[in-house]
Structure formats: structure tokens, C-alpha cells
Amino acid sequence: MKKLFSYFFVPGEKNGFRAKALQHDFLTYYLLFALIVVFTTRTFGTRFENVLGFATDITVEKLVEYTNSQRQKNGLPPLSLNEKLSQAARKKAEDMFVKNYWAHYTPDGQAPWDFILSSDYDYEYAGENLAKNFLFSSNVVDAWIASETHRQNILRSEYTDVGFAVVNGVLNGEETTLVVQMFGKPQNFILSQKEPAIAQSKKPVPPRSQISKKRGVVLANTSALKTNFIYLFLLFLTILVVLDLYVATKMNLIRIHGKSFAHFIFLTAIFFGLFLFLSKGIIL
């Protein structure tokens, strides 16, 4: 067992002073494996879209939990998850996919509160936050909290209800997960209709004039499962390279191979790059 481990992972006489797992044949297997992963992801992503759609790590429950946690931190009462507001949020998300835009107002001029009213939620106060390209629920809420206008929406004392929609689809030719958060306070005795609050991004993305008919729920590629797998693979390669570098330096080996130190720098940059890429999406 120990010999087998050494043969595959530690440079030595038997493997030509290069860990077998870092030799060309194995590197080719990794490449083929990567191609299979990409191919199956794309195939399964479209065939079993509704099943795999759950693989994304953004859930309504967690979004409610993190939103209310932020409110409680600021001494505000928690918001109740309202089915009508969630329905309005779903309608808005689906509308964005169908009409291919990313904005608070639809290309034909519909406002967020039009979706709220069409879901039979007669509001006194209403608001909307949007997010896309995020992987985790906590990152979505953290990004909103970091933006002053979105934060004001989350921490507005007038709101009593919240609704969420997490919908996967293709927007502007990019597979993405849209998160729509809608706030509200139902109309009771006060008849005057207040102006709804919409969080404005510092860099608003203009709506696309071209309307695409492409729609539907597909697998968000940034699922936690796949990301964890890629992180593990990167870690595996990095450990192999570090081990190779350590043994080669210790034994003062001169070999015709790529430089392990260069591979280490490259893999470390990719590791941090992946972390950066996944840690933030876009809010509006």
C-alpha cells in the first residue's frame, strides 16, 4: 500500500523521479475527465433541469433567515415570508428571462409594484432588490447589505412581509441564477399610496431592447457540488506539485519536466481566482 502510494504520489526511482499522478498519461486522463465533466454537466443540465436546479446553494429559506438576521441585528422585527410577494418575485424573474433584461423596470415600462399588485398584494409600502450570478445565499444578502440603497430596503422599518424567487435560466446568453427579493406592507387603513422603494445600483445595467424567446429553468452551473469538486481537484494537484517540489529539492533532482514551482504559482492563482469569482455576483 505504501509502495503504491509512493509510486503514484512521491517522486522516486520506480516512477522515474516524477510522481505518476503528475506524469503525462495521468495529466491526459485529468484532461479527458475534465472534458467528460463539462459534457455531462451540459447534457444533464438541460435534460434534468428541474431536478438539478435544486443543486444551487441559494434557497428561499436561507435568504429569509439571513435577511431577518440582519434586521434583528439592527433592532427591527423579522419579516414574514409572504406567498403573494413570492409569486410576484417569481413573475418578475420569469419576465426578466422571457424579455431578456436585467432591470427594475421592464422594457415595456412595467414597475416592480405592477407585479406585486398583479399577485393580489395590495401594498402600502413596497420595494425590490435584485441579484444574479451568486452561488450562496449568504453572499447575496451580504452584497445587498454592503450597498447603501439595498441595505435601506432590507432595514426599512415599514415593511412587514418579504417574498423571494430564486430562478435559474439564460439571461443575455449567460446561464445564471436570478434572485428577486420583494418587500411589502399590506394596505390596511391608510389610503394614501406611498412611492415604492427600489434599490438603485451604482452601475445600473440598461435593459436590453432585443427580446429573446429563449427561456426556461436550466441548471445553474455554479452549483455548490461542482464548485466543491473543482476546489478538491485543485487542492489535489497543488498537493502533488508541492510534494514533487519538496522531494525534487531535497534530492537535488535534475529532470526534463515542467517546473513544479511555476505550476504551484499558477494553481494558487487559479484557486484564489475561483474564490474571487464565486464570492460575488451583481446586485441591482
* Residue numbers at the binding site for another protein (CB under 8 A): 24, 27-28, 30-31, 34-35, 37-38, 41, 132-133, 173-176, 221-222, 226-227, 230, 233-234, 237, 256-259, 261-263, 265-270, 272-274, 276-282
> Least CB distance from residue 44 to another protein, whole Å?
12
Instruction: Give the residue with the Cβ less far from another protein, 1 or 276.
Output: 276
Q: Identify which of residues 4 and 254 has a Cβ nearer to another protein in the complex.
A: 254
Cα–Cα distance list, 131 to 88, 91, 204, 257 (Å) = 16, 15, 12, 46
Rounded-to-5 percentages of helix, strand, coil across the chain:
50, 15, 35
Closer residue to another protein (CB): 82 or 260: 260
Select 111 or 234, whichever has its Cβ closest to another protein: 234
119: helix, coil or strand? Answer: coil
Q: How many residues does the chain have?
A: 284
Q: How far is the CB of 18 from another protein (least distance, A)?
A: 10
**Closest to another protein by CB, 49 or 65:** 49
Shortest CB 221 distance to another protein, Å: 4
Return the C-alpha cell found at 135.
452561488
Our CB check for another protein shows the closer of 194 and 255 to be: 255
Shortest Å distance, C-beta 158 to another protein: 30
Amino acid at position 227, single letter: T
Tell me if 165 sits within 8 A of 179, measured CB to CB.
yes
Residue 171 bridge partners (DSSP): 174
Q: How far is CA 260 from CA 26, 190, 243, 246, in A?
A: 16, 70, 9, 9
Q: Supply φ then ψ for residue 263, to 5 degrees.
A: -60, -40
**Nearest distance from residue 205's CB to another protein, in Å?**
10
What's the distance, Cα to Cα, between the start and end of the chain in Å? 55
Strand partners, 176: 169
* In the complex, minimum distance from the CB of residue 222 to another protein, in angstroms, rounded to a whole number: 5
